[in-house]
Amino acid sequence: MSDEIEMILFEAAAALPDETDRRLFLAHTCQDNPGRLRLLESLLAKRKEAEDFFSFQASPPSPTARNAAPLGEETLATHIGRYRLVERLGSGGYGTVYLAEQIEPLQRKVALKIIRLGMDTERMIARFKMERQALARMEHPHIARVFDAGTTHSGRPYFVMELVDGEKVTSFCDREKLTLGERLELFIQICRAIQHAHQKGVIHRDIKPSNILVRRQQAGTLLPKVIDFGIAKAAHGTNEQTLTLENPGQLLGTPTYMSPEQASGSRDIDTRSDIYSLGVLLFEMLVGQPPFDFSSPENCNVEEVRAILRKSDPPKPATLLAALPSERLAELAALRGTTGRQLMARVQGDLSWILLKALEKDRSRRYETANGLASDIQRHLQGEPVSAGPPGRRYRLGKLIQRNRMTFLSGGLLLFALLAGLGTSSWMFLSEREARQEQSRLRKIAEEARRLASQALANEMVLRRQAEHRDLVAQAAFQLSLGERSKAESLLSRIPLAEIPPSLEAANTYRTLGEWHFNEARWKEAAKSFAGLARTLSDINPADSEQISRHLLPAAAALCSTGADAEYEVFREMAVARFGDSADVHVAEQVLKATLLRPANERLLAAITPLANLVENHLRTEAPSPENSEIYAWRHLSLCLHSYRRDQPADAAAWGREGLRFAGEKTSRDASLHFLLAMTASRSGQSAEARSHFQEGRRLIAKESTTETMTNNADGYWFDWINASLLREEAAALLP
């Protein structure tokens, strides 16, 4: 246990930027252990010596420097492979990050992270490689990407990643004076990125402001990036041993932002630990400080941290604000575009419940997923009931009135008129006939008031069902991240097909289950899952059309191959309606291939012709290169398929032959082109050529017809092989 504590204290001290802060930190944490103090001071001194090896002055590359060893045993050259180091950006417990310039095959600025000299022990190297592996798993617009990796001549590993030009999220929010609403919208994007990591089986474990960098794009939108997966952990699977490198009881992370179970040193950590950290981050973004602040040396005793996180309840955000000096409260409010009183009022109610649910000490009472947290915030922004709120009728009724203000105002006025009318009629001396007329009029008013109230309640029930279905999807995604496919399937089975919520999370979840059933030859279940995928795509927000369109091909292939012809017809009508006017050439290509796996009627062909024209114009104006030849080949296939379905054999043959010029890269694509050329030749009366193309396509499929082709491999995705097989069946029926 002593070694682990010393490692924790060393890494914490090393992360402090100022020498004075380091001395104060060590003096406080080691006041009862002089031996440990001397050891840590010695290690920090050696660290300083080691860092001197890393200091250098960037200079223009010389011919000899280009061929020099990336890192000498005791000196640091300015080149590591094809990267020229420019300046040091920062360092953590075991790695140093540099701004670097990639020299070839393209020139760009990147971030290069290399294990620090003196920290290249077996455990630290393993942890360094783990971070590289974790980042390589993910592909999300809000997570820094990995471009390259390698090992220097002296044996130290490094990896190259996207250079994130951004500012710490809390500093950015304050400098830009973002309102609470804008901060919540930004936080939702951060949750989506963490959800992606969880779905890839990675738990971050160090979510904090400095690991969320934000910048404003040219269009004015905000772009957050999650960085530093240096202490990430596998959520499940056989890689647990390789991704979990700490010893039992070891404390890894930043105390202020870590969950109680992480602070305890337990290995039983799951994705809900990140939910707690997200709660702390949101607390700080809204209120200006975390619920518990362990950043100062006197507050960073390990055992005290554990005790506080285990026993002390976090303060309510409004309570914390109320305890601040009035000047500080006014300053915080001004940075959020409001007043102190308004800020305190805003963080009560929904936001307070959301924060306290995320910060529950019992993880079973937290949000199950990051998307669940994001969805509750979205519901708050839209004026809907949040799942974290108390279930009382008063709260639900208050939300109902808030969302249907005009309806209830009208109903209230009608009710007032009814009461006033009744009161007046009681005192008026009217004839019997006039009284009956007045009664009839008031009865109609009352019925209209009841109708409006009933309609509002019905709308409330619809919104509640939608919220429940979104929660079921989030729970299913969480079960998938744990490898529990059957549990995820059971959860999704509770959602009627017509009520599947439209979201990328739902699309990813239904696709994952569909591919699982497909690979297990459960055709009926696969068709049902892919029908669910098609349904969620039909109503999903088209803002991210490229992400959405990547689901079209697998859905189309699965529906056709499992005999779900009626579902396929509905699917392609939806695809054309949703994406028929897209100006994105990538989306256009995907729609063409997904909607033309079967012969189509003239109306559908006419509707997608603008997409074919878009792809054709792109091919005619942009010359192919070695870097984009794959993309061009697939686009030739989409135009060949479109021309064939439109009964234009000459055009189809031209596009098909041009596509085969790129042969050898994707066997599934080449097989599809040969089958299309076989059908084109057959319709043109060229029987010999038709049989030649058919035999070549069949040979390519036979060559790769193993179970491996059902997974993502270098020769095509499983659905590309399904598409080739569908075209083979169509060609076989056409050829004599």
> H or E segment at 162?
strand 157-162
Alpha-carbon Rg for the chain in angstroms = 31
526 and 471 assigned to the same domain: no
**Burial (CB count <10 Å: 0-12, 13-18, 19+), residue 521:** exposed
pLDDT at 643: 93
Neighbouring C-alpha atoms within 13 Å toward the C-beta of 726: 24
361 and 301 assigned to the same domain: yes
Structure tokens at 268: 């039983």
> H or E segment at 376?
helix 370-381
DSSP state string for 237-265: STTHHHH--SPTT---S-GGG--HHHHTT
Structure tokens at 278: 């997200």
DSSP annotation of 324:
S
Judged by DSSP in three states, 664 sits in: coil
pLDDT at 64: 36
CA 239 – CA 268 distance, rounded (Å):
15
* 523 located within any domain: yes
Judged by DSSP in three states, 13 sits in: helix
Q: Which pairs count as long-range contacts for 567-571, CB under 8 Å and 24+ apart, including other chains?
A: 567/527, 567/530, 567/531, 567/534, 568/597, 568/598, 570/534, 571/531, 571/534
What is the length of the chain? 736
Which amino acid would we find at residue 104? E
* 62 located within any domain: yes
565 and 452 assigned to the same domain: no
CA 577 – CA 603 distance, rounded (Å):
12
442 and 458 assigned to the same domain: yes
146 and 218 assigned to the same domain: no
CA 509 – CA 513 distance, rounded (Å):
6
DSSP annotation of 114:
E
CA 622 – CA 619 distance, rounded (Å):
5
27 and 110 assigned to the same domain: yes
What CATH code is carried by the domain that includes residue 716? 1.25.40.10
> H or E segment at 234?
strand 233-234
* 500 located within any domain: no
pLDDT at 556: 83
Q: How many CB atoms are located within 10 Å of the residue 333 CB? A: 19
Give, rounded to a whole angstrom, the gap between the first and last alpha carbons of the chain.
78
> H or E segment at 595?
helix 585-595
* 501 located within any domain: no
Is the previous residue joined to 224 through a cis bond, with omega within 30 degrees of 0?
A: no
Which amino acid would we find at residue 415? L
CA 348 – CA 316 distance, rounded (Å):
8
Q: How many CB atoms are located within 10 Å of the residue 338 CB? A: 16
CA 3 – CA 371 distance, rounded (Å):
38
Catalytic residue among 52, 148, 206, 647: 206
Query: Going by DSSP bridges, is the β-strand pair 157-162/108-115 parallel, antiparallel, or unpaired?
Result: antiparallel
Last residue of a domain, one of 334, 351, 384: 384
* 671 closest CA partner among 626, 720, 717, 714: 720
Last residue of a domain, one of 495, 522, 542: 495
pLDDT at 53: 35
236 and 330 assigned to the same domain: yes
* 471 closest CA partner among 400, 397, 374, 539: 374
* 336 located within any domain: yes
* 544 located within any domain: yes
Q: What is the mean pLDDT, run by run of 10 residues, along the chain of 736 residues? A: 58 65 73 79 63 37 37 51 86 78 84 75 69 74 85 80 91 96 95 89 88 90 86 48 41 81 81 94 95 68 80 88 91 95 91 93 89 92 81 54 62 60 54 68 73 66 66 72 76 70 68 72 70 65 55 79 83 82 85 91 92 91 73 89 93 91 73 93 90 91 58 55 88 86
Our count of domains for the chain comes to: 4
Last residue of a domain, one of 162, 186, 212: 162
Which amino acid would we find at residue 361? K
* 570 closest CA partner among 560, 585, 562: 560
* 675 closest CA partner among 644, 650, 706: 644
Contact 271, 233 (CB under 8 A): no
589 and 614 assigned to the same domain: yes
CA 329 – CA 319 distance, rounded (Å):
12
Structure tokens at 38: 């001397």
Contact 552, 591 (CB under 8 A): yes
Q: Whole-model pTM above 0.85?
A: no
The residues near 403 (Cβ < 8 Å, ≥ 6 apart) are 383, 384, 463
pLDDT at 407: 63
Distance (Å) of CA 247 to CA 7, 336, 413 = 11, 42, 68
Q: ∠ at Cα 261 (259, 265), nearest 5°? A: 110
pLDDT at 29: 72
pLDDT at 294: 76
442 and 528 assigned to the same domain: no
132 and 232 assigned to the same domain: no
Domain containing 227 equals 168-384
Would you say 113 is a known binding-site residue?
yes
Annotation says 362 is catalytic: no
Q: Which residues of 421-445 are buried (b: 16+ CB within 10 A; e: fewer)?
A: beeeeeeeeeeeeeeeebeeebeeb
pLDDT at 244: 38
Contact 576, 604 (CB under 8 A): yes
8 and 100 assigned to the same domain: yes
- Show the beta-strand stretches assigned E in 68-131: 79-80, 83-91, 95-102, 108-115
What CATH code is carried by the domain that includes residue 104? 3.30.200.20
547 and 585 assigned to the same domain: yes
Contact 557, 568 (CB under 8 A): no
